[in-house]
Structure 1
Amino acid sequence: MIRPLLLTLGLFFQTAVFAQSFDHSHKGFTDILKRHVVVYDSDLKSAVNYHMLAQQPDRLNTYLSSLSQVTQTQYETWTQNEQLGFLINAYNGFTLQLIVNHYDQFESGDADSIRDLGGLFSSPWEQNFFSLLGEKRTLDWLEHKKIRVNFDEPRIHAALVCAAISCPKLRDEAFTEDALEKQLDDQMVAFLSDHDKNGIDDKGVYLSKIFDWYNEDFDNVRDYLRQYKNALAESETERKLLTTQFNIRYLDYKWQLNSLENR
């Protein structure tokens, strides 16, 4: 009886130590983003230096390997903010890795966007190219089966970046537990303040297709936008429009790579 008890206590202790040892500051990812992401247009947009990242992939691979080592048991000991920050960083990080792994196709002109990296019968978001929480995973699983299912948080759609120029900006720092609330709000404000993607004109309100694709996550899009009226509207007249049943149209999505060359 003593030996099984000791084994159980040993495993518990090992899991507890492992849980504490994970770097929830995600400093490694922040270092990568600071080095390779260029923020511009009054901090509303960003572009990635994929050429340099593809030449220096070791830091990214090392960071993503540390994410892959996290077990489901370890993950379940974390706070909600630790879990969500981890998952957002994983999505953005593995998306970068997907582009880097196929960057020769972009340099040769065989690929123009992430969508070109899919197979004949599958999209790039359905590729099992990384491991997370003990199993091989896809980007679709990470976004649609994990993040959207486990977290009632529409601001994730301003934080998850799929490497396209119509995406929200890729933040030049990792998402962390302590700063997560402010970071998510900053992302949504920046996204709605980027009037190449969202705004108001003489036809009404125009929005990114993201608000159309994920309409259910925002519950009532008009009510949701009213929370961010100062970001979306540029004048008192526009702010008054947001108090009405305003018209909404959705912009075509530009899938070209969010690279320095396409900014």
Structure 2
Amino acid sequence: MFRLFSFIALFLATNVLAAPKSELWDFWNISDESNAQVISHQPWQQFLDRYLVTEGENTLVRYVRVSSDDKQNLKRYLEQLASIDPRTLNQAEQYAYWVNLYNAITVDLILDRYPVKSITKLGGLFSFGPWGDDVITIAGQTLTLNDIEHRILRPIWNDPRTHYAVNCASLGCPNLQTQAFNAQNSNALLDQAAATYINSSKGINIQGDKATLSSIYEWFAEDFSAQGGVMAHISQYRPEVAQFKGKLDYDYDWALNSK
């Protein structure tokens, strides 16, 4: 029995540390730049307006206060997005579509199991969180949260700022944005989210000759290589970091982003 539990602990630890690679799912790498269709994300915006609150460095979700009607409205919003084939949209609309979809699904998963102390408690017996679970079907394809982030968003857009856009319902994560993404505001929101996170203690906390960085920068270091690496990327938003020559450590808080 002890050996069994030891194996389980090792299995879970390995899965925590082994972040998924960016691997393109070719099916989704299509767009129609001539399509001027605009997807409404107003239902998601209404949810954010009602249930997000900022405390210190964190933007928190008041899960306990979400009404039954708003839970159903969120599910209807997801059904609305699932009825759209995003490949017919232009890339700017697609990016907003996938980010909002990811974040809304994550909140919906938490609400279905609330109260829960951490998103890592969701998923199957041997799962560290729900990211590998089938969560939605779009254009005849069944997707997981991992698919959306690591097989669509990361490889198609190759923008490391995507890590500041998708939210994993945890305190260590970049905050869930108070605005829904759309084709017009995505770039500004990404820069704002990056600057906010990097200038917070959960992004990088410097104490003397030691800096504790978010584990995001360890898990996905390769995504920042095109910008000269993690520290070069961080320095764009926090210039004094460029002079730091001390020891680097990594940390991440998986506690639920709950109010």
Q: Secondary structure at the match of 1:181?
A: helix
Instruction: Determine if contact 2:102/2:166 at 8 Å carries over to the other structure.
Output: yes
| Distance verdict in 2 for CA 1:52–1:131, change over 3 Å | farther
Return the match for 2:121 from 77, 94, 116.
116
Alignment-mate amino acid for residue 35 of structure 1: R
1:142 alignment partner in structure 2: 148
Superposition deviation, residue 120 in structure 1? 1.7
1:54-102 per-position Cα deviation (integer Å, ceiling 9, x unaligned) = 633011111111110012xxx2232222111111101100001111111
For structure 2, which runs of at least 5 residues remain unmatched after alignment? Answer: 1-31
Superposition deviation, residue 134 in structure 1? 2.8
- In structure 1, how many angstroms separate the alpha carbons of the residues matched to 2:255 and 2:75? 24
2:43 alignment partner in structure 1: 28
Matched, 1:101 2:107: no
Q: Secondary structure at the match of 2:131?
A: helix
Instruction: Determine if contact 1:192/1:199 at 8 Å carries over to the other structure.
Output: no
Matched, 1:217 2:223: yes
**TM-score (normalizing by structure 1):** 0.78
- In structure 1, how many angstroms separate the alpha carbons of the residues matched to 2:119 and 2:137? 20
Q: Residues 3-152 of structure 1: matches in 2 within 5 Å? A: 23-41=38-56, 44-53=57-66, 55=68, 56-71=70-85, 75-103=86-114, 106=115, 111-123=116-128, 124-152=130-158
Residue correspondences, number: 221
Matched, 1:186 2:192: yes
| Distance verdict in 2 for CA 1:243–1:258, change over 3 Å | same
For structure 1, which runs of at least 5 residues remain unmatched after alignment? Answer: 1-15, 231-238
Q: Secondary structure at the match of 1:81?
A: helix
Q: Residues 149-160 of structure 1: matches in 2 within 5 Å? A: 149-160=155-166
1:127-157 per-position Cα deviation (integer Å, ceiling 9, x unaligned) = 1122234322111111111111211100011
Alignment-mate amino acid for residue 257 of structure 2: N
**TM-score (normalizing by structure 2):** 0.79
Alignment-mate amino acid for residue 53 of structure 2: V
Matched, 1:247 2:247: yes
Q: Residues 222-237 of structure 1: matches in 2 within 5 Å? A: 222-230=231-239
Is the helix fraction higher in 1 or 2?
1
RMSD: 2.0
Q: Percent of pairs identical after alignment?
A: 31
Instruction: Determine if contact 2:36/2:90 at 8 Å carries over to the other structure.
Output: no
Instruction: Determine if contact 1:70/1:134 at 8 Å carries over to the other structure.
Output: no
